[in-house]
Structures are given as C-alpha cells and as structure tokens.
A and B are shown apart, each in its own frame.
Chain A
Amino acid sequence: MSGYLYEKDLVAMKYAILISTRHDRLVREIAGDLGISPQNLRRYMIERFDMILMENLPARYEAGKAETGNDAPLADALGRVMYTRYIPLLERENMNSILGQVREMIANGTPQEEAVSRGKRMIGEEIRR
C-alpha cells in the first residue's frame, strides 16, 4: 500500500455527507431550482468543496435564504448571493455575466420570469460542464 493515510480518496466520505437527510433535501432543492439532476450537482460539489464546507451547506443555505431580498430584485430571483456566497457554486464573474445576459433578454422583450428561468438553466449548464 502506498500513499499517506491523510491523502486518501475522500469521495466516499463526501458522498456520505451529501446523502444525509438534511443534505439530500438541500441537494434536491437546488438541483430542482437549477434544472439539473441531483447526481450532477453532487459530483460538482464533491469535486469543488472541502468536507467542512459540505457539512455546513444546510446551515449556509438557511442563512442565504434569510438574506434573500437584500440584493437587487433580478439578482435575487436568479440567486446571485445564494449561489456565489452562501452555496459557492459559481464564481462571481460567471454569475455577473449570466445576470448581464438575463438583463439583455429582458431588454429585448423576454418576460422576466422566462428570462430568469433561462438564467437558472445557464447556471445549471455551468455546473454540468
């Protein structure tokens, strides 16, 4: 056997965290919101987050929800603060670029609801990539 114990593969442990009652609810809620599968979202989180951030996701999600309404209405609807600060799925630049595209859609006559829904699908695409 080679390799240090503390450098072992953490995928199984991270997956165990993500399928606990609270985490599973959170993953399904976010995946539903972004129109992607829970499996895709779990894989993305396992690749990007350390274990303590994963453990803390339900509490951060709760804190993020409490902050909803403090950002610009369109950014709020898209979940800018939630998905960049509280559940850091995207870099701020990527999110701002998506927000810019959503604004453009609205300016070109797309109803706000549909533009936001398309914006969320773009976030989902970023995660699936």
Chain B
Amino acid sequence: MKKTVDVSIPIGPVHPCFKEPARVKCETRGEYVLSAECELGYMKKGIELIMRGRPWQEVMFLAERICGICSVIHNMVFIEALEKISDIPVPERGALLRVIVNELDRMQSHILANFSYCYTIEHETLGMYLLDIRESAMDELERITGARVTCAYIVPGGVRFDLRDEDAVHLRASLDIIERDMKRYIRMFEGGPLIALRSKDVGVLTKESAKEAHAVGPTARASGMPETDMRLHHPTYQKLNFKPVFRTEGDNFARIMVRFEEIMQSIDLIRRCLDMLRPGPIRGGGIPSAGETVYRGEAPRGELSYYLKTDDAGRIVDISVQTPSIMNIEACTHYMLKGVASLADVPSTFISADPCIACTER
C-alpha cells in the first residue's frame, strides 16, 4: 500500500512564476493540497503612513505609486474621493477621457495577468503574443497621458490633457488591431487541449466561498458574482450602459476567460466614449476642502476602496487603502488552493487570481 505522508511545502517568497515575493505554505498529503497559508511582509512600503499629513497635491502622486500595474485607477479613486468630499463637478468630456484611460489601463493589466498565467502553465508562445499586443495598449496610454505608468492624468475637476483629433484616430486604429489579435489569442486559449487540462476544474472557487472571502473583480465574476463590479455604480459607466462580464465555473479557466472578455468589453467601452466625445472643457474648477469619505472604484483586479479624511487646507489627515488583491489572495490561499490535486497547480492557481503583492503590502 502506498504510504501517505503529510508535508508542509513552502512556495516562495522567491519563485520564477511570481512577479513579486510572497510565501505560500501548503500542507500536503502526497501531491494533494490539504490547506494553504500565505505570509507577506517582504516589501511593505508603509505608504499610508507616508501620505498622512501631506497635501493632496503630493498624495495624488503617492497614491498611484501603490501599484505600477494599475496606477491609473489609484489616481482616479483618490481624486474622485477628493471630489466627493469637496463637491467638485467634472465636465462630460473630462469624465469620458477618464474612462478611456482607465479602460486602457485595465486592458494592459488584464493582458499582463493572462500572460503570467500562460507563462506559468508553460504556454510561452501565447504568453509572448500577449506581451507583444500589450505594448499597443501601453503606447496608447503614453500617447494620451505622456507616460506608460504613473501618468498622474486625472486631477480634481477633470483631466490634465485633452485628446487631440489625430490621437483619437490613432487610438481607434490601435483598438482595431488589438481586437483582431485578441480574438485570435482567445481562440487559441479556448481551444488548446493542454491549456484545458491545466485550467479547467482546477482551483475552483465556489460562489459561497467567494462571498465569504469578499472576493472581488474577475476572480469573483468568474464565480458568478457580476454585482461585485463597482463600475455599475459609477455615473459615467452608467451613461455608457455598462453590463459586467461574468461566468459561473469558478476555475482557473473561467478567471482567465473573464479577463479576456473584459479586454474586448474595454475596447467596446473606449469606442463608445470616443463616439460620445463632444468639444468642451476637460477641467472645471474646484478646491479640495475638509471632509471624510469612503470611495470605491473598480480596479482591474476588483473593488478598490479609499477611506479619506482631509482638513481645510486639503491636507490628508487620515487615509486607508483597501486594494482588491488583499481579498483575492485570501480567497485564493484559503479556498482555491485547498483541494488542489497536484502541487504543480499551486503556482498557476495562485497566478490565476492575479495577485499583486505591491498593492497588498501598500
């Protein structure tokens, strides 16, 4: 009879498939994972503490430095929280430009997440194709905002730069190319028999578990929870008649497919914004004032929440940032990894939740 052993196997903090350091400790019986724990603390920035007492003009730059991959949404949520406190209106053109930049950022983040997954399951060809097409989204971000990451594009009352006509034409052309290529890559992912073997019915997160861990973003939407999308509550997205993408399988395959479908949805949203753009101001007036609020936005990885307290001079008295990776890594560690049949599936399941340690250790 085969001997059954109980072994505790640490994965990380340094692992070739992890973009950032985290230690996942798996309790195993043979290859079967009985339970898992995740320990952090390898790159704690203490950015909330650095932000306290500083004027908003400095903190807006610090906020987008919490995460290099989804910097636009940190910028957007921080500024929109300030606008909510101070009742600062945003002109329609400015609001639409915010959505365009935010959706471009979501596209590049989702493409990077899916690249990481393909790389982890050893489908490097598709991974490299995805990295290549990500450059088109990054180029468009740079063309509109002047920077690939940490763009500081969104400011109280609007955006920093207008979209020139020639940039709008270039953006539409790039979207056509990205759409054409993405369709091909989605077919490759959907139809790949080896991809299916590594992804379908692996790392399943049930709807009940997702609710318990407060999973958010594509991780929750792959488990049948479309209501978790914060864009449903955003006034500009409501004007765009936004409907969230979701699936019900809850496995690695579903999480990657939700991201692919959201990339296509982002392309559609940007096109709709471009159609709705009318000449007009991109930035209104307004001075940040004293107040306190909790503001939520939909980051590429899910619900991002800022608790913000300011004084009369617009200084940040208190701030607390709840990033989506916190919820998703917890859901992954305690629910998805539990019961994984092979240790080889642990890194791929972990990556399928698109963990961002920089966000988690803000």
Contacts and interface: CB of A to CB of B under 8 A. Distances in A.
Nearest to B216: A59
> Dominant SS at the B interface?
mixed
Interface stretch (A48-56, A72-80, A120-128): A48-56
Contact of B326 (A21, A59, A62, A63): A59
Given A10-B39, A63-B214, A52 B330 contact: yes
B214 A20 contact: no
Contacts of B318: 21
A63 B44 CA distance: 26
> Of A63, A67, A86, which is in contact with the most chain B CB atoms at under 10 Å from its CB?
A63
Nearest to A52: B38
Interface residues of B, number: 27
B320 A21 contact: yes
Contacts of A53: 330, 334
A107 to B, nearest CB: 32
B20 interface: no
B40 A51 contact: yes
Given A60-B212, A60-B214, A55 B44 contact: no
A60 B41 contact: no
B7 to A, nearest CB: 16
Given A13-B44, A50-B39, A22 B322 contact: yes
B286 interface: no
Contacts of B44: 13, 16
Given A56-B327, A56-B330, A63-B211, A20 B48 contact: yes
Interface of A: 5-6, 10, 13, 16, 20-22, 50-53, 55-56, 58-60, 62-63, 67, 85-86
29 contacts: A5-B13, A6-B10, A6-B13, A13-B44, A16-B44, A21-B48, A21-B319, A50-B39, A50-B333, A51-B40, A52-B326, A52-B360, A53-B330, A55-B326, A55-B360, A56-B213, A56-B214, A56-B326, A56-B327, A56-B330, A58-B322, A59-B327, A60-B213, A62-B214, A63-B211, A63-B213, A63-B214, A85-B212, A86-B212
